[in-house]
A = this chain, B = another copy of it.
Amino acid sequence: MSDILSQFIKDRRKLLGLTQPELADRAGVGLRFIREVEQGKDTVRLDKVNQVLSLFGHETGPIPIKRDPHE
């Protein structure tokens, strides 16, 4: 996972005070999936990621790769 998504999901979950099991339940995905996603696994299915993001009012989309920070 691109870290960006991974981190976003973890942050939002904690922001709402949810546990991984709770998030998994609400998103309709398996608990293991939430765990793998938050740990940065990137060989996951896009639709499952979107199921989770939708809880936060978001979805996956193309974003520019940020350039080297120190330039």
Chain A interface (Cβ < 8 Å from any Cβ of B): 1-2, 4-5, 8-9, 42-47, 49-50, 53-54, 56-65
CB contacts (< 8 Å) of A58 on chain B: these are: 62-65
A interface, over-half SS = mixed
Number of identical protomers: 2
Residue of B nearest to A60 (CB): B60
Instruction: For the complex, give the distance between the alpha carbons of A50 and B64 in Å.
Output: 11
CB contacts (< 8 Å) of A64 on chain B: these are: 57-58
Instruction: For the complex, give the distance between the alpha carbons of A59 and B60 in Å.
Output: 10
Residue of B nearest to A58 (CB): B62
Instruction: Say yes or no: B61 contacts A2, CB within 8 Å.
Output: yes
CB contacts (< 8 Å) of A57 on chain B: these are: 64-65
